[in-house]
Amino acid sequence: MNGDNQARTSKERDTDKIVDAALELYAERGPSRVSLRQVAQHAGVNYGLIHQYVGSKDQLLELVFTRLSETWADAFSAADGTESAVAVLLRPKSDAYVRLLAHLILEGRDPGEFFKAPPALRELVRRLEDGGDEDARLQAAVLTCMSMGWGLFGPHVKDLADLSDSEGDVDAEAYAYLRRVFADRRASNATN
């Protein structure tokens, strides 16, 4: 392996650490309350590498959103059919993205300034269109909102509704319910 390949590999590895650390800290505290030095320290990298590999704090936020959206887009693309793509979205998962998004909104920032056409949403729409859904953009938006809403507010709503995970995996049951509603709607539209 030559020096260029080793340097590139080191850069990619360090960038991944930086993005992972930024997501964790931004989701926990909000981007405005986290310095790039704190991200570097949490990632275990030299502070200067953030500027060298990523750039500014806003560029890091953009990279975090892009990486997350690309990961989701890959999962939607790899799914076996429309309902499987929807199942990828409607399942228990990390709430870090939703918490980061909530912090940005509460800080008065427009998340759209960090990514205009998220690859994940585009891919979900494509999968829904491939499945014959005429209102694919609306369905993708509603399904995404429902998934994000449960991710952010689910713990609170479970407490309010006196739902306990000792009775079963409430998150898994909630997402299964949403998948059934989606499947029933598709079946109803197919017969009309």
Rounded percentage of the chain residues whose pLDDT exceeds 90: 70
Q: Same domain, yes or no, for 62 and 155?
A: yes
Q: Same domain, yes or no, for 140 and 170?
A: yes
Separation of alpha carbons 70 and 82, rounded Å: 18
Q: Quote the pLDDT of residue 6.
A: 61
- The model's pTM: 0.84
For residue 145, give the 3-state DSSP assignment: helix
Q: Quote the pLDDT of residue 186.
A: 82
Q: Same domain, yes or no, for 83 and 164?
A: yes
- Which of 55, 72, 101 is a domain's end point? 55
- Nearest by Cα to 143 from 170, 172, 121, 111: 121
- Which of 10, 30, 55 is a domain's end point? 55
What total of structural domains would you count in the chain? 2
- 58 versus 188: the higher-pLDDT residue is 58
Other C-beta atoms closer than 10 Å to the C-beta of 185 total 12
Task: Assign residue 108 a region (left: φ > 0; alpha: ψ between -120 and 50; beta: otherwise).
Answer: left
pLDDT tens column, 5-64: 565 689 999 999 999 999 999 999 999 999 999 999 999 999 999 999 999 999 999 999
Q: Same domain, yes or no, for 129 and 77?
A: yes
Q: Same domain, yes or no, for 81 and 100?
A: yes
Q: How far is CA 84 from CA 52, 75, 135, 179, in A?
A: 40, 10, 18, 10
Q: CA 121, 127, 128, 129 torsion: positive or negative?
A: positive
Which domain, by its residues, includes 2?
Answer: 1-55
User: Is the model's pLDDT at 123 over the cut of 80?
Assistant: yes
